[in-house]
Structure 1
Amino acid sequence: MLTLNDCIAFTDLLPEEVEEISRHERLGFVIALAKGHTLLDRPWGPPAIRQMMRDNLARAMRRGDAGRCGPMVETYRRFQVRHPGGVDRRRSA
């Protein structure tokens, strides 16, 4: 039987990164995990996930939720180091 930790280990995502995808897309954790895994297989996936994280951070800043901003920035930075580059589809048109 697979556990949630096993499923996370099959992807190249950290749980907090999946949480950011889940929050942005308004999906359950497991569905967000699958979406994130699929996005990482696309050349435009890492930039898309980074944009989701920036959107979440901007939303938290607008609401004045300073307690969440620090951890969100750290999650973004770790993701950016682990998944640099990619092709931003919005800029290729």
Structure 2
Amino acid sequence: MLSIQDVLDYCDLDRGEIEAIAEHEHIPVTIAAELSEVLLCSPEGVCRLHTMIIENMTHALEQGKYEHVKSLSQTYEHLQRTHPIPANMNL
């Protein structure tokens, strides 16, 4: 049986990014890890990842969860460095 860490180690995204997908989609982290690999296969999927985290930040800000906004901001900065929005795409 695989542990959650085994699943995360297999992914091209870090734990924070996968947790942000799980939060946005209201799914378990293991399913979010699988979804992350599918999304990374296309420019549209990469844009969708960026959008998910931005929407999570907006929602957290609206709820006054400023520490969560800060955490998501750091997660988003990492995503921007490792999987930037493709040049021909717009959010």
Could you list the runs of 5+ residues in structure 1 that have no partner in the other structure? none
Partner of 1:12: 12
- 1: CA distance between counterparts of 2:23 and 2:78? 18
Q: What TM-score, normalized to structure 2?
A: 0.88
Query: Which stretches of structure 1, 4 residues or longer, exceed 3 Å deviation after superposition?
Result: none
- 1: CA distance between counterparts of 2:81 and 2:45? 15
Partner of 1:46: 46
- 1:20-72 CA distance string (max 9 Å, x none): 00000011111111001110011211111010000000000111111111111
Partner of 1:36: 36
Q: What TM-score, normalized to structure 1?
A: 0.87
Equivalenced residues, count: 89
Partner of 2:64: 64
Q: Does 1:77 align with 2:77?
A: yes
Identity of paired residues, percent?
28
- 2: CA distance between counterparts of 1:20 and 1:81? 16
Distance 1:85 1:67, change over 3 A: closer
For the aligned residues, what is the CA RMSD? 1.4
